[in-house]
Amino acid sequence: MPLVGVLALQGDVREHVATLRSIGADVREVKRAEQLDGLDGLIVPGGESTTIARLLTTSGIRAALEKSLAGDLAVFGTCAGLILLASEILDGRADQWSFAALPLSVRRNGYGRQIASFETPVTVAGVGTVPGVFIRAPKIETWSSDVEVLATHDHGDGNHPVLVRYANVWGCSFHPELTSDDRVHRLFVDALR
């Protein structure tokens, strides 16, 4: 099985680790730059994007992850992780940065604030219908034609991608780790083989 890291600075670390282990993946929690070495893939979890960004910098992981993204490390960002991978963050803070690894723009809290959180079925290409848990979820507003859209959601304003892939970088607006359905994780892990 591939060795999959979970960025363990803040957010839904435990939930991703548990899901990955349940499907038999080898898992490493990543808290230091050298823990990126030897990984086949990395999950950047949901949480608070500006907090994770700050911790990436203070922990020394930011530069190492930038180098890994430029190489061949597969990275999957969920919710806040998607924001950190996007090439453009709409309505972000003035000092907010991203890795610009996915050619798309996201709007933070695009589906509403915490009180507007919701769960809805999402149909994923090649997988079927999975539960989509949207909590202060980023909305993908624009995307390059090179981005493979694996799932969309219409929240009353047209279909927007909610699960995408661009080469070895994946992004997801919802939280697949917060359900008992492991098929989105399996899709990512299977792509690492």
Residues noted as catalytic: 79, 175, 177
Decide: 102 and 138 in contact? Cβ < 8 Å.
no
Burial of residue 174 (CB within 10 Å: 0-12, 13-18, 19+) is buried
**What is the Cα–Cα distance from 171 to 85, expressed in whole angstroms?**
8
159 φ/ψ angles, rounded to the nearest 5 degrees: -75, 130
**What is the Cα–Cα distance from 128 to 78, expressed in whole angstroms?**
19
Decide: 79 and 135 in contact? Cβ < 8 Å.
yes
Long-range contacts of 30-35 (CB under 8 A, 24+ apart): 30/5, 30/6, 30/61, 31/59, 32/59, 32/60, 32/61, 33/59, 33/60, 33/61, 33/63, 33/64, 33/65, 34/64, 35/5
